[in-house]
Amino acid sequence: MNDVKLESILAKFDLKIAQLNALNYASSMMFWDASTGAPKSGVEARSRAVGVLSGFYHSISTDCEFKEILDQLELHKADLSQEQNALRKHFQKEYNKISKIPAAEYEAFQSHISTSAMVWEQAKENANFEQFKPYLETTIETLKKFASYRGYEGHPYNLYIDDFEPGMTVSQLNQFFETLKSRLVPLLNQIRAKQKPDKGFLKQSYAIGKQKEIAEMLLDCIGFDRQRGMFEESVHPFTMGVAIDDVRLTSHYYEKDLLSAMLSSVHEGGHGIYEQNVDHKLSGTPLATGASNGFHESQSRIYENNFFKSDAFMAFLFPILQEKYPENLESITYETFFKAVNCVEPSLIRIEADELTYALHILVRYELELGLISGTQSVAELPKAWYDKMEQYLGVVPMNHSEGVLQDVHWSEALFGYFPTYALGSAYAAQLCYYMKKEINVDQQLRKGDFGPLTKWLNEKVHQYGALYEPTELIEKITGETLNVNYYCDYLEQKYKKLYDL
Amino acid sequence: MNDVKLESILAKFDLKIAQLNALNYASSMMFWDASTGAPKSGVEARSRAVGVLSGFYHSISTDCEFKEILDQLELHKADLSQEQNALRKHFQKEYNKISKIPAAEYEAFQSHISTSAMVWEQAKENANFEQFKPYLETTIETLKKFASYRGYEGHPYNLYIDDFEPGMTVSQLNQFFETLKSRLVPLLNQIRAKQKPDKGFLKQSYAIGKQKEIAEMLLDCIGFDRQRGMFEESVHPFTMGVAIDDVRLTSHYYEKDLLSAMLSSVHEGGHGIYEQNVDHKLSGTPLATGASNGFHESQSRIYENNFFKSDAFMAFLFPILQEKYPENLESITYETFFKAVNCVEPSLIRIEADELTYALHILVRYELELGLISGTQSVAELPKAWYDKMEQYLGVVPMNHSEGVLQDVHWSEALFGYFPTYALGSAYAAQLCYYMKKEINVDQQLRKGDFGPLTKWLNEKVHQYGALYEPTELIEKITGETLNVNYYCDYLEQKYKKLYDL
């Protein structure tokens, strides 16, 4: 191919990218609007519009014109820049994901998912697994069938984990979770034998206005640029990278919970900082986001857990909180406060879990969903298996399915392969933190409340690259080694052994 | 054509309508977002997305597939329902508007407009007409050329007025404005000879929090359903019908102005009530809006002027305001208040004009833009002509172009034919009000602050039909006669002769 021809193909490719980006932009707007105050009565009109726009997205990204562009680019990949190749691979992967599935089956499954999600909502409300069961069965059967259409190496679940964490495989995950289990379950058992710290004071009344001020202060402090984004309220906190220079976060405030809004603000802030600091050369492309779900989660968790909940930062923050809420905190010692913030308490609900038990919630889900896709776990027996694993790893059991197997939305939307990335995120965070500490006195910075050099390090090592590298490449580029779960286990052991005098 | 074939064409038509509606929905979201808090840094990403989506809209609504559908439907218009024919005509008109203009010229003009609008903004800031002049000249030349491509009857300006007010013509407008001029200019001169009422107290300090409460109370009172919409703040108040059940308004609050936010809330509320009460059978189509710009404006103005500023409603509202702001209003008599609200004061800026002089601001613009399109008015001489007409009709003259010929955005965006619809709106409002009073004791209702029967009358007579009828048909259907400007002049004469003891 001569240069002129390649240039014309690249121009067509750019046009397609701009079109798909515009459709994503529009969908983001609708989602943001729906989550931050749109009237309920508008839901039908919005659903119609969302449906049409996702139809446009689907047809542009899978039509033969686009396929032709991708094929041409692949033939000449040696002549493409690193970004061009990453984009080519991104869209080729999206294309492969859909194109091998017969269109009618694909559409039927989309419609199944939307019903399944509605049924799950009902079933959860009624704590009635039987209601949801047939939908989950169809989902599993379809995912298996689609895996055979798409083709895979090793294990069908590899396909689904790869959708969220490119390059990750079942065999790596098995090893990852085996190590987690063997190191964290005994640690938790040791902690459970110890006396629980007092944390009742965290559930007193804390004026919401002041909570908002604190949340804003924390975002400024960690380095989220509120001028290049928005910070609003929604039922479930989330982050949305509308564009590199338009990154939006939400939080949620509970009067009777001092920690919740601070944690979710810092967590979403971490996601937001990632989105805001991608190199502008990736602007307007699907590479202007994190390297993977796991990598994105590593950034929310490094700020929330490794930094925010650290002894060093808590020592900085506590006097500020005491000044804001003297009536609640004047008589509390720093030690009591720090222990309360990091209290380990096995519980039933994943999203309310503490830093240590959180990983075990994921372990339960990983083992179950792997079993479902492998065919070794039946849907009918899922509630019992859930119960058993909760008992075995966390030592607590649900009283009903709504706080058990029905608690999370993921399976109802066929998001298999998503859960593991939460644990991978914490593991990436621990590994990054270990290497960051070789270059920066992290604790000294946190003790001053100065995140500057920490955020700058992450900007340089992680954020700027967006999704230019696969997560496996990126972690190796930064730390010189592949993902090593032992950093995560070491970090948790060190932290909690000290906290609980073990 | 057999029924099966017609059905299949109608199914394709519905699909196109759904696609265009979704694109409009997305654009609305972006505009709403941009106007209510989106970060400035996101403007570039938004512009890119807006550009792509309007490209989609343009190509869908002008491609040969759509043309073929429209042609087929026209052949069988006798078999179509009233709604189907109204939709067919709507899209045929959109198609004709664009399809006869060579694509390259059309695109060049779009790009010219966007530059022109930016240059105008600069020129207005600098009060420098010369800077804007060449852009306006190109706009006028292009509009004339496009009129020749599109073809027209009688006068090229007919095309442009018809874009905003279907069925209206230059000869009707000439008559309309001649009557206005001959009746209102003398009335204004009589008023100018009288003593000005005191209205300084309206510009004292009025706490903004309370102003918001009043605005919300007024919206509830007139019948805007805040549950099926939103009410927010933006620099320039506007209404956006995202969908029939999702209608959004904004207002703007000035601490040193008691009236401004009330007037704009009630004005936008009138637009909003129109959008909310279109029959749901028109939902998701371009007919789910007002019959025309003029008709839409009639609804904002009937609430703002005919109802809100009336003696009857002011008598109801004044004690409520006195209770809210005793420090400002305790010592003010009702008569003083009512006269202040309805004070006539010729001024330079259209959007700040009172009810009487407003029409004369439109008269100035109508005569000038008609002259520009007719070729009897040069752009070079426009500032002088503006000055002369302001002097002649309003008796005030601008000190600079920024408060003169450069004050409005419309011409910079090639929105010729738009201005007259403001005056038409007031005239429709007066005519509707006249007929409403034959059936309802309007003053008695307003004196109780009960808009229920008034809004219900408008729902039934006007709102439910959306854009199913052309404005000329609709006014005749409701009042049994075509638009008659004398109702408007009579209303103003009666009101102001009484107010000013003439």
B127 interfaces chain A, CB cutoff of 8 Å = no
Crossing angle (nearest 10°) for helices B3-35 and B64-75: 130
**Two tokens, residue A373:** 């896709």
Closest C-alpha among A74, A79, A82, A67 to residue A2:
A79
Q: Which of B165, B268, B275, B297 is catalytic?
A: B268
CA distance A245 to B478: 51
Contacts of B53 in chain A (CB under 8 A): 22, 26
In chain B, which residue's Cα lies nearest the Cα of A241?
A: B42
Does A22 contact B48 at a Cβ distance shorter than 8 Å? yes
**Helical ranges in A100-169 per DSSP H:** 103-126, 129-150, 156-164
* Range B327-348 average pLDDT: 97
Reported as a single tens digit per residue, the pLDDT across B218-270 is 999 999 999 999 999 999 999 999 999 999 999 999 999 999 999 999 999 99
Does A21 contact B52 at a Cβ distance shorter than 8 Å? yes
Contacts of A250 in chain B (CB under 8 A): none
B336 interfaces chain A, CB cutoff of 8 Å = no
**Two tokens, residue A139:** 């989902």
Looking at residue B342, its pLDDT comes to 98
CA distance B223 to chain A (A): 17
CA distance A25 to B48: 10
Q: Positive or negative, the Cα torsion across B262, B267, B273, B275? A: negative
CA distance B286 to chain A (A): 13
**Of B46, B51, B284, which has the smallest distance from its Cβ to A45's Cβ?**
B284
Reported as a single tens digit per residue, the pLDDT across B404-449 is 999 999 999 999 999 999 999 999 999 999 999 999 999 999 999 9
Contacts of A53 in chain B (CB under 8 A): 22, 26
* CA A483 to centroid of chain Cα atoms: 17
Reported as a single tens digit per residue, the pLDDT across A203-231 is 999 999 999 999 999 999 999 999 999 99
CA distance A429 to A485: 10
Contacts of A245 in chain B (CB under 8 A): 39, 41-42, 44-45
A243 interfaces chain B, CB cutoff of 8 Å = yes
- Confidence band, pLDDT 50/70/90 cuts, at residue A1: low
CA distance A326 to chain B (A): 29
Contacts of A48 in chain B (CB under 8 A): 18, 21-22, 25, 284
CA distance A233 to chain B (A): 14
- Confidence band, pLDDT 50/70/90 cuts, at residue A434: very high
The DSSP-derived string for A7-67 is HHHHHHHHHHHHHHHHHHHHHHHHHHHHHTT--GGGHHHHHHHHHHHHHHHHHHHHSHHHH
Closest C-alpha among A305, A355, A366, A347 to residue A179:
A366
CA distance B190 to A223: 65
Domain A170-499 architecture:
Orthogonal Bundle (1.10)
The DSSP-derived string for B36-83 is TT--GGGHHHHHHHHHHHHHHHHHHHHSHHHHHHHHHHHHTGGGS-HH
Q: Is the pTM of this model over 0.90?
A: yes
pLDDT(A90) > 80? yes
User: Partners of A240 in the beta sheet?
Assistant: A248
Residue A388 DSSP symbol: H
Mutation pick from A16, A21, A33 vs chain B, by most beta carbons of B within 10 Å, is A33
CA distance B262 to B124: 28
**Two tokens, residue B290:** 């007002």
In terms of DSSP bridges, do strands A246-251 and B229-233 run parallel, antiparallel, or are they unpaired? unpaired
CA distance B114 to B126: 19
Does B243 contact A22 at a Cβ distance shorter than 8 Å? no
Does A245 contact B39 at a Cβ distance shorter than 8 Å? yes
Mutation pick from B41, B228, B280 vs chain A, by most beta carbons of A within 10 Å, is B41
Contacts of A229 in chain B (CB under 8 A): 39
Reported as a single tens digit per residue, the pLDDT across A106-149 is 989 988 998 999 999 999 999 999 999 999 999 999 999 999 99
Contacts of A14 in chain B (CB under 8 A): none
Q: Are A229 and A272 in contact (CB under 8 A)?
A: yes
Does B33 contact A38 at a Cβ distance shorter than 8 Å? no
Torsions phi, psi for A251 (to 5 deg): -135, 175
Closest C-alpha among B358, B356, B413, B353 to residue B164:
B413
CA distance B113 to B79: 41
CA distance B380 to B384: 9
B343-B347-B348 Cα angle (round to 5): 155
* CA B334 to centroid of chain Cα atoms: 31
* CB pairs A-B closer than 8 Å: 114
CA distance B270 to chain A (A): 19
Reported as a single tens digit per residue, the pLDDT across A366-417 is 999 999 999 999 999 999 999 999 999 999 999 999 999 999 999 999 999 9
Strands (E), B203-308: 229-233, 239-243, 246-251
Q: CB atoms < 10 A from the CB of A219, how many?
A: 22
Crossing angle (nearest 10°) for helices B485-499 and B420-439: 80
Does B25 contact A284 at a Cβ distance shorter than 8 Å? no
Residue A379 DSSP symbol: S
**Two tokens, residue A283:** 């602007």
Using CB atoms within 10 Å of the CB of residue B256, give its burial: 0 to 12 exposed, 13 to 18 middle, 19+ buried.
Answer: exposed
- Percentage of chain B lying above the pLDDT 70 cut: 100
Mutation pick from A19, A25, A57, A240 vs chain B, by most beta carbons of B within 10 Å, is A25
B280 interfaces chain A, CB cutoff of 8 Å = no
Contacts of A32 in chain B (CB under 8 A): 33
**Averaged pLDDT of chain A:** 96
Using CB atoms within 10 Å of the CB of residue A18, give its burial: 0 to 12 exposed, 13 to 18 middle, 19+ buried.
Answer: middle
Closest C-alpha among B352, B316, B359 to residue B495:
B359
Contacts of A29 in chain B (CB under 8 A): 26, 29-30, 33
pLDDT(A2) > 80? no
pLDDT(B39) > 80? yes
Q: Are A296 and A271 in contact (CB under 8 A)?
A: yes
Catalytic machinery residues of A? 268
Reported as a single tens digit per residue, the pLDDT across B9-37 is 999 999 999 999 999 999 999 999 999 98
Domain residue spans of chain A: 3-151, 170-499
**Of A41, A46, A242, which has the smallest distance from its Cβ to B42's Cβ?**
A242
**Two tokens, residue A236:** 């479930």
In chain B, which residue's Cα lies nearest the Cα of A21?
A: B49
**Of A22, A38, A39, which has the smallest distance from its Cβ to B53's Cβ?**
A22
